[in-house]
Amino acid sequence: MCTIKDLFTQLKNMKQLSIFSLFICLFTFKVHAQADPDIAAIRKILFTQVTAWNNGNVDGYMKGYWESDSLMFIGSKGPTYGYTATLNRYKEHYPDAAHVGHLKTTVVSMEKLSDDYYFVIGKWALTRTAGNVDGSFTLLFRKIKGKWVIVCDHSS
């Protein structure tokens, strides 16, 4: 016969096992992510972009993008093609500190598509005096000449 006390003891043990299992899963994921130099390189690019943006440096923010006429940025008004056109678009939409604000991003997932491609999904939020805005992004990273760059950005 199982008593209430026995039931609570079993539940406590199950809870401890669940917490331990979650810890192991998270630790394994973190070790795997840290062990992958490509993920580390992509995360560094994203961090550098946020830092540049928060310093009001749109040109620095753009260093994460592929400097090519084949770069594609897709926003609410449709696609923009090319590095220079994308830079000009950013400068037009974020002309001053009131519009640039403070950027925060969160990576939701990173998926390796091949040795040369990663697909990144995330969220972004701008806190600014011109009014806060937020949304989501999908980025296609490509390794070109040994360097990871964003070749396609869909932000909305």
Mean pLDDT, rounded, for 119-148: 97
Chain mean pLDDT for the chain: 88
Q: How, if at all, do strands 147-155 and 133-144 pair?
A: antiparallel
Distance CA 43, CA 11 (A): 39
CATH for 36-155? 3.10.450.50
The 3-state DSSP class for residue 41 equals helix
pLDDT band, very low/low/confident/very high, at 4 (cuts 50, 70, 90): low
pTM score > 0.85 for this model?
Answer: no
The 3-state DSSP class for residue 79 equals strand
Lowest mean pLDDT among 12-21, 34-43, 74-83, 94-103: 12-21
